[in-house]
Amino acid sequence: MGLLIPDDVLNAARMTEGELRQEVATLLFEREKLTLAQAASLAQMSRIQFQHLLASREIPVHYGVEEFDQDLHTLRELGQL
């Protein structure tokens, strides 16, 4: 599903598309609606960049079993485990 945000909305909010993506991703992560990986993807940032964004806003990273399992899966695919 795509979501089209009119330019006048972005202009009224004085935000770029990237800033809006970061705001939405941060909010959904903080409310535990998205995992860290999902939120970083929505924000079009690497996980590390997104973690820095969260830290700058003093938002704690909740790292649960699901994220741990995803990280293990990624490491196995990369041959690093």
Per-residue pLDDT band for 71 (boundaries 50, 70, 90) equals confident
Q: What is the mean pLDDT of the chain?
A: 91
- Looking at per-residue pLDDT, the higher value among 51 and 65 belongs to 51
Q: How far, in Å, CA of 22 to CA of 59, rounded?
A: 13
Considering the chain, what percentage of its residues have pLDDT values greater than 70?
100
Which whole-number Å values give the CA distances from 48 to 11, 12, 27, 43, 61, in the listed order?
29, 30, 17, 12, 11
pLDDT at 26: 97
Q: Which tens digit of pLDDT belongs to each residue from 52-65? A: 999 999 998 877 78
Does the pLDDT at position 81 exceed 90? Answer: no
The token duo for 41 is 């993807």
Domain ranges (residues) in the chain: 7-77
